[in-house]
Structures are given as structure tokens and as C-alpha cells.
Amino acid sequence: MGQVLVLGLISGGIYALFALGVVMVYRGTGVLTFAQGEIGTAALFLAAFLVTDKGLPWFVGAAAALAFAVVIGCLFEFVVVRRMVGSDPVSVAVATVGLGLFLLAIEFRIFGDSPKALEGPFSGGVTIAGVFVTPTQIAALVVALALGFGLQAVLRRTDFGLGILAAAQDPAATRLVGVPLSKITLTVWGAGAALSAVAALLVEPTVGVFQPGYASELFVVGLAAAVIGGLTSLPGAVYGGILVGVAESAATRYLGDYNISGLRYLVVLVILLIALLGRQFWPQISALLRAADAGSKPTTTTPAGASA
Amino acid sequence: MTATTLAPRPVQTEQPDEVPTRRRRLPVPGVLIALVLAVVLPLLGGSTGALSDKNALLLSIACTYAMAGISLNVLMGYAGQISLGQFAFVGAGAFTVGIVTSVDQLRLPWIVGVVLAAAAGALLAFLVGLPALRLRGLYLAVVTVSVAYAAWQSLFRIEVIGGGSAGKVIPKPYIGNSAITSDSGILVLAFLALILVWQVDVNLTRSRLGRAFQAVKADEAVAASFGIDVARYKLLAFSISGAMAGIGGAIYATALGTVTGGAFDYARSLLLVVIVIIGGLGSRWGVVTASFFAVLLPDILIALFGTGFRGIDLILNAGLLMYTIARHPGGFAGAIEESREKRARRKGGEPPLPPTRPSLPALTRPRGMPPVPQLRSGVPVLQASGVSVRFGGLQAVDNAGLRVDRGTIVGLMGPNGAGKTTLFNAITGALSPDSGRIELLGVDVSALPTHRRTALGMSRTFQLIGLAKGQSVYENLLIAQHLAAPYGVASALTGLGPSRSYERDVRRRADEVLAGLGFGRYRDTMVGRLSHGQQRIVEIGCALVTSPELVMLDEPSAGMSPAAAEDLAATLRDMRDVLGRTVLLIEHNVPLVLDVSDELYVMDAGRVIANGEPVEVVTRPEVVTAYLGAAPSHEGASA
């Protein structure tokens, strides 16, 4: 049980970091982004080039990777999103699909599909509930929690943060009251990309190698986690990520004997459907629960209570 | 309110090439092309022919992408349902044909395998479509991504389905007793399958099915008001799309000979999105062209510029996707359409304005629809009683009721926010009230969905124009006749059977209405390009085209000039006196309401506060108070 929880928290922290990027962009622009995973992978390639090939310290490579991700995010906003003002958010979402494929294709073109190595910044680790936990894994969870609640506070308490929240709901009105809209969307796309790079950098040392498309496969889980968490709440993204992580590790623990491949994605699909449809049908479900509750009470004797 | 629309400027999916009175063309070009290919391709192939095995295989793959592209176009282009996991359906088809033709106990003929592949694709897509009944746009997109990953990483890696790491070996197809072993032979099969899918898609767009998809894409509430069962047509769109993708998958597997689960990865689903957007959402030939372009591009680049260009193709395609969606949302086909229209405009100029006072054509109830029930005397066309609707803390409609007798015009007035439209929506079934009873033509419809109420003999217009604005005037008049052509899915997809005569009927009727409205020259104009007043007239034409007993109009004069509003009054009287319709009218224009109504209801704060003879009702103190506020009493006015 403890083992399931620890393993779940480790992967949950990573999913939460990806989910935070998704929620950040969604709250600021109303767009769901599908490109963030590949932005993370692209950042990893730069870090690996600087650290593994050029021998620079990990933190230098990581900082450069972070900056690179921000540049990609901002460039995308500047070159593509800005020209799509007034179009349907789904159209912009499809454009992010294009960005993801674009980065993936460039990575394949330059590096091929052989794995690339990048050593993590720390060695050693501690054993918790029988699980060996590395410092980057702990860092991932801590950073996810800190960002989830910290960014929420920034959004709620600062003028700029409130501007971000307003921008997605009504861009025209937001502009009219003097909020610099273009600065806000640029910031949001940059911040979303940065969060993906953080997630990719913190998950990569667990295995130590990666290839094109690496972070996208984890990002998809983060995307689902963001939706499960409500898509508009940063703490919700963290909870969603941890929920999926723990569910995945529980499934692996108890269904591992059946050797089901891709168990992670089955778990994600099931939770996603439960969360989305459950929310849709919640009024009916709660009515049923209330009816069942009322029916089970000894004082209500009429069966008509169950259909109310 | 609005369903997912990817293109802000939607493209017409079909050239209005048919004069409606002409019989529908047979698919002669398709059959001809198929015959020529069947004869010529095998001759080109083999060791001596010009068509190398490698190129034949490549063209076969291009055909499968074209089929998958058409299938995604059905979902995204026609029905407005986004799918980022289309290759899961392709894979379902591929492995189905693999299993049923190779497993010892089955060893079914190849052609049966293809049919079952279509069924498997349809089934998987149907299951994905179920959440789509409740989820829209971006949420649905995330579900399809999850399905794509689950299919790729999990389902297709099950030993029995995907054949494990060795993959599934698909035996060479037999047609009769002869095995088709050469790549060019399989290419012929691939072309035939593509032509089949193409033709089904053509039939689809010309049928009530394709029109229902377009209406669902434009606006689900409007679609329901035309009698379209939105849930059913969403699931149909997914199923048909899945079947097409499944056929594509069967050909894909056959052409490759061996398939592994890894071949159906998420990136390929995304490439299909690229294909559909670049080709042009809703454009069949645009999508097929883009499919061939995307599949052949890698080899073309290498042939032209050398092996240094390996991998450049995907970079180009992804870049093109971003460019297209940002600058030319209509895609390749849309760009061509635009330039053609521009040329036509320069040459012909704008057609003259249609009259604002149309003469309404007298139409009988279409034969495809059940006759309007005979009413016993004293039974009203519409009786709503005790209707209450609460939105959170707001009691929008509070125990309201009204009665509309046959052959009358009943007006419904009230200040903004009085609950008129909400009551309207409760009557049409667009929302379900917390309590109350709606009787339409003597039938209790309180529990029926909108499309069933429409079928009984009701139609409505919307405050903000309930039309598919991306479609032509003519197309809208066809969409509005959804219930007048009640032929089945099979007839729609094959273009055979009852659909032919029903389509002739609805097309003739659409032309009659066009002529009556004086909109003949605007037949093929996109509704969104008309002025507001013109759109309103088209909408009224759509509401009348199936000769419903009750016509409900929500603020028809909104946005009209005073002169046009006067014409509207005449039109409304024509509805009653010439056509014999019954009209329920929400209207803010007081002179207009007083002019045409036989009876008037006034609502305020969710309640009906007065009803009776119009001119008398508007003078009642409670009505004056509702509109102008209480008269200040002289003593305490300043308090």
C-alpha cells in the first residue's frame, strides 16, 4: 500500500507538472494545447547537447533548456496564435497539434530515433516504503505542489494574474479596461512551455535516456489529468496528476500479473471517462444518491420516495 | 450553443451542380476510372512494367490514407466532431482483416474480412461517439487522444489481436480462386476500395444524412428544431466514419502483408488531421489530394533533392498545417473556392436585392411526414400550463401558461428578461421545465425531445437566426425538410431505393419556396453572406417548408427596418389567412404585435400578467407598469 502510494506520487508529480502547463494556457487563452509535450522533449535535446556533449554542468543545461522552451512557446504565440485572433479555440488547438508534429519531425530529422543520454543532477537517494526514491523525483513532486498553489496565489492576488484570468473569459472587455492583452497571452504561452520543460527535465533522470516523442507520451497523461482536475484550476491539475499517478501504480501493483501492455493509458482513459461523464451526469447521480439515501431511512416507508 | 466549427469561413462541400429536376447522375466517372485501372495497372506492374512494386505499394498506402482522410472529414468537416485518434479505427480494421482471414478456425474470404473490418471500425468509433453525446469540442478531443493511445499501446499489443512483436501476417487476398499476389494487383483493390468510399461519401453529402451532419455542426439546437435527432446523427457520423476508416485499415494491412501494433501510432492520427486541414475541411477532393501529397511527398523530395531530404516531409506538413489554419482555414480547396468566387464577383457583380415582402407558396404537408392530427373542436393547437423553469437562483418562468387556437396569431410580449424565450424553449423542448405540461395538437409532449415535437407539426425560428450559416439558402431549405424525406441510412449511403424519389420531392419543394420568397438568384449564396433581414426571410421559409400546423417565431422583426417590419406584418397575416397556419409570436415591436395578433399574452418576471384582446390588454395598468415602471405617487416620490 505504502509502495503504491510512493510510486504513485512520484509519477503523479510529473503528470501534475504537465497538467499545470495545460491549465495555465487554458486559463489564459481558452485554448487546449497539444504541443507542450514535444516542447519538453525539444528542451531535453538542447540540455543533452550542452551537458552530455559539451560537458557543461546540468544546471546550466537545464537553464538553457528552460529558456529555449520559453522561446518556442512565445514564438508560437507570436507567429501563429496572434494571427488567429477571433477564431474558434478548437482551431488554435489544431494549430498546436501542428506545432507538436513540427517539433517531433525536427527532432527525428536531426537526432534520429536512437536514445540520447542525459545524466541527472543528483546521485543517491532514499528508500521510502521499500521504494528507492531519487532527489529529482522528490523535487518533481515538491515543485508541482509549490507551483500548483503558488501560481494560483499569483493569479488571484496580483493585477497581472487577474488580467490572465479575465483575458480568456472576455478578451475584448479585458483590453478595454486597459490590460495589455498581447503581453498576457505571450506570458501564458511562454509559462506553459516552461512548465513542460520543467516536467521533462525532472522526469528524464529517472530513466536517463530519451528519444523524439519521449515527453509527449507522458504529456498525454498530464493532459488527461488537467481535464480530470477541471481544466481551470491549478491545484485541480495537481490533484488530477496525483490521482492518475496513484491509480496507475495501484493498477500496476494489482494487475501486473496479467501483463497488460499500455496499462497506463487504459487507466487514464477509464478515469477520464468517469471524471467527464460523471461531471455531466452529476445532477442525476446525486438525485439518485439522495433518493437511495432517503429510501434507506426507516422513517420513509413509501416507495414513491425513491423516484423523487 | 454552437457546435465545434473549425473554419470561421466554412466552405461549401459540394458544387451545386445539379438542377434539382434532373435525375441524379450515376457514378459513371468512378466506374470508368475503376475499370481502366483494373485493366491498366497490372500491365504496368511486375518486373517488366513501368510501375515498380515499391511505387505500387506506396500508391496503395496513399489510397488507404485517402480513405482515412475521407473518414476523418466526415467527422470533422461535416459533423463538426473533432477526432485526434482516427488511426485507432484504421487499426481496428487492419487487425480485424488479419484475424478473420488468418486464424485457423475462421479463415474467412478476404472480401468478408474487409466487410468485417468496416464493422469493427464502426463499432469502435460508435463507442468513442458515446461520450461525444455529452462532451463538446476540446473535451472530446482529449477523449479521442486517450482512445488513440489506449488502442496503440494496449489494445493492438494484445497477442491475439496484434500478433505480438512479430506482428500480424495477412494472407494474400483471393478473389474467387485466384490469389492476388502482386503489389500492382493489390493497388487495383486499393483503388477500388477508395472509389467505393468516395462514392459513399458523395451519396452521403447529397442525402438527408449529410445535411443532418451539417446542421448538427452548425448548431445543435437549430438542428433539433428541424426535427433532427442530434444524438442519433452524432453516433451515425462516428459509425460511418469508423467504417470508412476500417476499410482503409483492411487495405493498409493487405498491402503491407504484415502489420504490428506500433504501425497505428498517435502521430499518424495527427498526420490525418494535417491532411484534412491542409486539403480543406469538408472538401472530399481536397482531402484526397492532400492524402496523396502527404504519402508521396517523402519519396518525391528524395527523388528531387537526394537522400539529404529524408524526414523533411513531416516538417513541411506540420508547418503547412500551422500556416493553413492560421491564414487559410478553408484549406487548399477553400483557397481555390475563394479565388473562383472573387473572379465571379468581379465579372457578374452582386445580384439584385430580393423583395422584403415575399409571397408565401401554398404547400401541402410532404408525403414523407405523418399528417397533422385532426383536432377535435375546442382542442387548441397548443396548450401550455403551469410551466416553471429555474436557472440557479433565478425563477425564469413561474407557473406560466398559454393557449393557442387553430388559425390564430397569438402574440407574446414582455420586457427584456420576462422569460418569453425561456417559455418558448420549454414549449419546443429545447429545455426541460422543472414542472408544467405542454400539449401540442392534443398530444401531451411534455416528455418528448424537440425533434419529436417538430415531427408532430411544429416549427420555430430563433432570436439570433436559426440557420446553418455556412450553407447555401437552398441547402438550408433542404436541411429544414429533414423529416419530409424519411428514408433509411442504407438508401442514403448507396443513393439507391427510396432516397431518389424523396430527394426529388424535397428539391422540388425547396425550389418552389425559393421562387415564392423571391430568392431564386440567391439559391446558392451562403446564408451568412445575406443581410440580417434576408436571413430572417429564409428562416421563415425554412419554418414553413414542411407545412407545420404551428409556427413559432422568436422576435422576427428584430434588426429590421420599419418598412421591412411592415412587410413582415403582411407576411404574418398571409401565414394565417392564405396558408392557414397557426402562429405564436414573440415580439418587441408593439405596433406590429397589435396589428397582427388575435390574442396577446404579456409576461413579466416569469409570470403571465395579462392576456386577452391585444388593444385592450396593452392599456391595462399592470402591463403599463411592467413596461414603464410604477407611476410615481405624488407624495413619496423622492423617497
What tens digit of pLDDT does each residue of B124-166 get? 999 998 888 877 778 888 999 999 999 998 888 888 888 877 8
Set of cell numbers at residue A166: 479575465
Question: φ and ψ at B604, to 5 degrees?
Answer: -150, 135
Q: Which of A174-178, B135-139, B365-369, B543-547 has the highest mean pLDDT?
A: B543-547
CA dihedral B216, B222, B224, B225 (to 10 degrees): -150
Q: What's the CA gap between B303 and B309, in Å, rounded? A: 9
Q: Which of B11-15, B340-344, B601-605 has the highest mean pLDDT?
A: B601-605
B330-355: burial string, b at 16+ Cβ within 10 Å, e else? bbbbbbbbeeeeeeeeeeeeeeeebe
Output the pLDDT for position B542: 92
Q: Provide the mean pLDDT of chain B.
A: 85
The Cα-based distances of B8 to A86, A108, B117, B379 in angstroms read 9, 33, 35, 47
Distance from CA of A99 to the nearest CA of B (A): 7
Closest Cα to residue B209, out of B499, B454, B457?
A: B499
User: Residue ranges of the alpha helices (H) in B14-154?
Assistant: 28-44, 53-73, 86-102, 110-132, 137-153
The three state secondary structure string of A87-117 is: CCHHHHHHHHHHHHHHHHHHHHHHHCCCCEE
Q: What's the CA gap between B51 and B184, in Å, rounded? A: 8
- pLDDT class for B1, splitting at 50, 70, 90? very low
Output the pLDDT for position A119: 85
Distance from CA of B158 to the nearest CA of A (A): 8
Output the pLDDT for position B133: 82
Instruction: Decide if A237 contacts A80 (C-beta within 8 A).
Output: no
Task: Name every chain B residue with its beta carbon within 8 A of the beta carbon of A278.
Answer: none
On the CB side of A280, how many CA atoms lie within 13 Å of its CA? 15
Closest residue in A to B152 (Cα) is A262
Partner residue facing B318 (CB), from A98, A220, A281: A98
| Contact with chain A for residue B275, Cβ under 8 A | no
CB contact under 8 A, B267 and A223: no
Partner residue facing B146 (CB), from A79, A98, A272: A272
Q: Provide the mean pLDDT of chain A.
A: 86
The mean per-residue pLDDT over the stretch A207-222 comes to 90
Quick one: B25 exposed, middle or buried, by C-beta within 10 A (0-12, 13-18, 19+)? Answer: exposed
- pLDDT class for A178, splitting at 50, 70, 90? confident
B429-443: burial string, b at 16+ Cβ within 10 Å, e else? bbbebeebebbbbee
In B, residues 284-343, which contact A (CB 8 Å cutoff)? 310-312, 314-315, 317-319, 321-322, 325-327, 329
Quick one: A206 exposed, middle or buried, by C-beta within 10 A (0-12, 13-18, 19+)? Answer: middle
Instruction: Decide if B38 contacts B192 (C-beta within 8 A).
Output: yes
Query: Does pLDDT of A301 surpass 50?
Result: no
Q: What's the CA gap between B187 and A235, in Å, rounded? A: 54
- The residue with greater pLDDT, B242 or B579, is B242
Q: For residue range A48-107, what is the model confidence (pLDDT) as tens digits?
A: 999 999 999 999 999 999 999 999 999 999 999 988 887 888 889 999 999 999 999 999
Q: For residue range B445-469, what is the model confidence (pLDDT) as tens digits?
A: 999 999 999 998 899 999 888 999 8
Q: What's the CA gap between A131 and A133, in Å, rounded? A: 6
Q: What's the CA gap between B16 and B476, in Å, rounded? A: 13
Distance from CA of A266 to the nearest CA of B (A): 5
Output the pLDDT for position A287: 78
Q: What's the CA gap between A68 and A42, in Å, rounded? A: 8
Output the pLDDT for position B23: 43
Set of cell numbers at residue A252: 500496476
Query: Does pLDDT of B354 surpass 70?
Result: no
Output the pLDDT for position A300: 40
The three state secondary structure string of B3-38 is: CCCCCCCCCCCCCCCCCCCCCCCCCHHHHHHHHHHH
Please state the ipTM of this predicted complex. Answer: 0.86
Q: What's the CA gap between B400 and B419, in Å, rounded? A: 9
Distance from CA of B387 to the nearest CA of A (A): 19
Output the pLDDT for position B633: 60
- pLDDT class for B202, splitting at 50, 70, 90? very high
Query: Does pLDDT of B637 surpass 50?
Result: no
Q: For residue range A137-171, what is the model confidence (pLDDT) as tens digits?
A: 888 889 989 998 988 888 888 888 888 888 777 77
Distance from CA of A163 to the nearest CA of B (A): 23
User: Residue ranges of the alpha helices (H) in chain A?
Assistant: 2-29, 36-48, 58-79, 89-111, 135-157, 159-169, 171-176, 181-207, 214-228, 234-255, 263-280, 282-296
Output the pLDDT for position B11: 37
Set of cell numbers at residue A140: 518533481
| Contact with chain A for residue B139, Cβ under 8 A | yes
- pLDDT class for B553, splitting at 50, 70, 90? very high
Partner residue facing A99 (CB), from B8, B153, B322: B322
Q: For residue range B99-128, what is the model confidence (pLDDT) as tens digits?
A: 999 887 878 889 999 999 999 999 999 999
Query: Does pLDDT of B424 surpass 60?
Result: yes
Instruction: Decide if B75 contacts B282 (C-beta within 8 A).
Output: no
Q: What's the CA gap between B84 and B91, in Å, rounded? A: 14
What's CA B579's distance to the chain center, in Å?
A: 30
Set of cell numbers at residue B158: 494484445
* Chain length of chain A: 308
Output the pLDDT for position A124: 78
The Cα-based distances of A54 to A23, A58, A119, A204, B273 in angstroms read 35, 11, 13, 19, 38
Q: For residue range B53-94, what is the model confidence (pLDDT) as tens digits?
A: 888 899 999 999 999 999 999 999 999 999 999 999 999 999
Q: Identity (one letter) of the amino acid at A80?
A: V
- The residue with greater pLDDT, A296 or A249, is A249
Q: What's the CA gap between B594 and B589, in Å, rounded? A: 9
Q: What's the CA gap between B237 and B218, in Å, rounded? A: 15
Q: What's the CA gap between A26 and A155, in Å, rounded? A: 13
Q: For residue range A5-56, what is the model confidence (pLDDT) as tens digits?
A: 888 998 999 999 999 999 999 988 888 999 999 999 999 999 999 999 999 9
Query: Does pLDDT of B197 surpass 90?
Result: yes
Percent of chain B at pLDDT exceeding 90: 45
Q: For residue range B492-514, what is the model confidence (pLDDT) as tens digits?
A: 999 888 999 999 999 999 998 88
CB contact under 8 A, A280 and B135: yes
Beta strand B382-391 with B394-404 is antiparallel
Q: What is the pTM of this model?
A: 0.88
CB contact under 8 A, B326 and A99: no
In A, residues 138-167, which contact B (CB 8 Å cutoff)? none
CB contact under 8 A, B273 and A273: no
Closest residue in A to B310 (Cα) is A109
Q: Map residue B389 onto helix, strand or coil.
A: strand
The mean per-residue pLDDT over the stretch B428-447 comes to 91
Closest Cα to residue B438, out of B478, B388, B398?
A: B388
Output the pLDDT for position B638: 44
What is the DSSP secondary-structure string of B589-626? -HHHHHHH-SEEEEEETTEEEEEESHHHHTTSHHHHHH
Distance from CA of A106 to the nearest CA of B (A): 6
Query: Does pLDDT of B520 surpass 50?
Result: yes
